[in-house]
Each structure stands twice: as structure tokens, then as C-alpha cells.
Amino acid sequence: MSKKIILSGLIQQDFEKIAQDLKASKFRARQIHNWIYLKSVKSIDEMTDLSKDFREKLSEIAQVSDVTVKTKQVSEDGTIKYLIGYPDGNCVETVLMRFDNRTNLTACVSSQVGCAINCSFCATGKRGFVRNLTAAEIVEQVLTIQRDTGLKVTNVVFMGQGEPLLNLDNVLQSLTIFNEDFQIGARRITISTSGIIPGINKLAELEMQSTLALSLHAPVSEVRKQIIPVESKYPLAELKEALKNYTNKTGRRITIEYLLIKDLTDTIEMAESTAIFLKDIKCNVNLIPYNPIKDSKFKKPSTSSIMKFKYILEHSGKKVTIRLERGADIDAACGQLTGKVNS
């Protein structure tokens, strides 16, 4: 028996081709599309405005999804972490974050299995790189959340496992699907990078309207190298030029992610150097107090060092937020994803 078509991750033209092959109209294609992306059904049987006969024909050649939810963990704060398994046996983690008093539902998606960047604070980096995810596999993560919760995801952040700009074509293809098929506005989508300059230049060329987030984590090359080894390949001085070019071309403000690690990146000197580094870059800053992972040499910053750091950056004219810790009790917080069963 030949392999069935997986409907999740397809675009309207693909649905039209399927409808045409089954001798049905474009309208049927639009109905299937809406059942997949707007109603997040689990099976073709649930597509109740299609005739039983058509559903049977469609089921012979296609199925909604081929992923499995290996585990699901719910945090005390409502964050949900899924371990999703693909047919080749690889798994990634996807996190749904909810924030009190806000209606936003944010999916934090993975773009690769494992990661080659090997940031020293990150559980994923310790695994090394396994493979890129396809656009459909990225899209499946958001559909899995929607199918499971019955809720509609309103925001997507590419901040899960992997370096999105090292899988740029598939990430951009999934971004288009989120935008056009899920109807999630471009500005509600964020792509995060450790600082891959060719990828940043490509996004600048495309005049991307989604948000770019850069993991800066240290404004001094020698310190940054200890945290993000890719600093040796794409050093801060060149990165700064790429970021300026990006904001000029897109007109968009960058989000600077800054990890506060006790006595390494949370000092007053680092805050002052960060303010100088960011002086000519149109950006907001998001401070992330470090979450300890198993066997880590790094420590959590104190509340007073977080507040001092924030004050210095605000004083330099930047808008600064402190990232709320989500799902730390289920290892779903920043840098804690591993994508392994039993990790």
C-alpha cells in the first residue's frame, strides 16, 4: 500500500490538487483546509460538512497527521510541554505558554532535532545536531497543541530546540503557513537566533515583518564565546552591523534577549557595556534570569542584580522587560528543552 498523504502542513494549492484528483471542486479543498487549520480536527471523519462518501475517498489516500504525542506535562502555571514523535523516531519538544490576564496563547516551536550551536546554558545543545525539521513538521507542533487543547494559538515563537536561521527555508515556509493558513499575524511571530549573520542578512533582504529576537547574552566577545560558541564565527562587531542593516531594511525593532548569569553576565560592567553595544540599534531588551539545568556550572542571578541591570539599560533609553519564568517545574523554561524521552 502506498504511503498516505499527510494533510497537516499542506497549503491551499495542495488541497486543490487533492480535490481535483478526487474529482471534487475547489470549494471542497477550502473546506478541508479550514478543518485542518482553523478547526484543528484529529481525523477526516470529523470533517462533517463533507459527504460521507467523499470522506471515505479522502481517507483512502490521506490522513490528518502522522505524529504522536509521546508525553504531555502541565506546569502549575498552566504551561504545557509536549514531546512530539515523528515517524522516523525523532522527537522534539513544543511548549504552550499562557500568561495571566492575557488572551494570548503562545506556541514555542522547535525548528531542528538537536542543535549544532551548543550554547553552554542549553540542554538541547548538549545533544548535538540531528536533523532539520521540515516546514510540515514545524506546523504539526502548533496543530498538536490546537488539537489537544481545542484552543487557537495566537502567537508563535521559534525559540524551542534548534537554531532557526540554520534551517531558514523550512522556517520561512512554516512562517508563511502560520501567517496565511492559521491567520496568525506576521507581527505575532518571532524568530530567535543565536546570531547567524547570513540568516539575518537574508531576513533583512526579505524585509521580514515578523519579529527578530537576538540572543545577545553578553556584550563582550570573550565572555560571549563562553556562552554561545558561534561568537567565534560571527563576532559581535560584525553582528552589530548586520542588526543595524536589518532594522534599516525592515523598519522593525529587534528584541534583544539577554541571559543574566550570576557573576558572569549580570554585573554592572556588563550592563554598561550592553548599553554601549546597543546604543545605535533599534531594539527592546528582554532580560532572562538564568534557570539552572542539571550539572550546570552557572547560577541564578540575585533579584538586586537583575534590578540594577534593568535600571542601567533603561537609563540608556531602552525599553526593558524581565521574562516571566514559565514552566520551570516541568523543564519547559528557556534552555531546558532536550527533546528526549525520560530526560
Give Cα 210 distance to the centre of its chain.
12
By CB under 6 A, residue 261 contacts ligand SF4: no
Active site residues: 93, 334
By CB under 6 A, residue 164 contacts ligand SF4: no
Shortest distance, CB of residue 88 to ligand SF4, whole angstroms?
20
Residues 6+ apart with CB under 8 A from 151: 105, 145
By CB under 6 A, residue 122 contacts ligand SF4: yes
Shortest distance, CB of residue 192 to ligand SF4, whole angstroms?
8
Residues 6+ apart with CB under 8 A from 176: 11
φ, ψ of residue 64 in degrees (nearest 5): -70, -45
Torsion from C-alpha of 57, 58, 62, 67, nearest 10 degrees = -120
By CB under 6 A, residue 167 contacts ligand SF4: no
The only residue of 9, 162, 289, 301 in contact with ligand SF4, by rule CB under 6 A: 162
Q: How many other CB atoms sit within 10 Å of the CB of residue 205?
A: 12
By CB under 6 A, residue 138 contacts ligand SF4: no
Residue 95 DSSP class: E
Query: Distance between CA 48 and CA 54 in Å, rounded?
Result: 11
The only residue of 40, 65, 79, 124 in contact with ligand SF4, by rule CB under 6 A: 124
Q: How far apart are the first and last CA of the chain?
A: 36
By CB under 6 A, residue 175 contacts ligand SF4: no
By CB under 6 A, residue 163 contacts ligand SF4: yes
By CB under 6 A, residue 336 contacts ligand SF4: no
By CB under 6 A, residue 333 contacts ligand SF4: no
Shortest distance, CB of residue 242 to ligand SF4, whole angstroms?
17
By CB under 6 A, residue 118 contacts ligand SF4: yes
Nearer residue to ligand SF4 within complex by CB, 170 or 194:
194
Shortest distance, CB of residue 140 to ligand SF4, whole angstroms?
19
Pairing between β-strand 319-322 and β-strand 283-289 as defined by DSSP bridges:
parallel
User: Is 285 within 8 Å of 147 (Cβ atoms)?
Assistant: no
By CB under 6 A, residue 231 contacts ligand SF4: no
Amino acid identity at 265: T
262: its cell numbers: 550570576
Shortest distance, CB of residue 151 to ligand SF4, whole angstroms?
26
By CB under 6 A, residue 157 contacts ligand SF4: no
By CB under 6 A, residue 119 contacts ligand SF4: yes
Nearer residue to ligand SF4 within complex by CB, 19 or 219:
219
Q: Which residues within the stretch 190-229 sit at the binding site for ligand SF4 (CB under 6 A)?
A: 194
Q: Which of 328, 252, 253 is nearest to 288 (CA)?
A: 328
Burial letters 30-43, b for 16+ CB under 10 A, else e: ebbbebbbeebbee
Q: Which residue is nearest to ligand SF4 (CB)?
A: 125
Q: Which residues pair with 22 in a beta bridge?
A: none
Query: Distance between CA 329 and CA 331 in Å, rounded?
Result: 6
By CB under 6 A, residue 255 contacts ligand SF4: no
Residues that bind ligand SF4 (CB under 6 A): 115, 117-119, 122, 124-125, 161-163, 194, 335
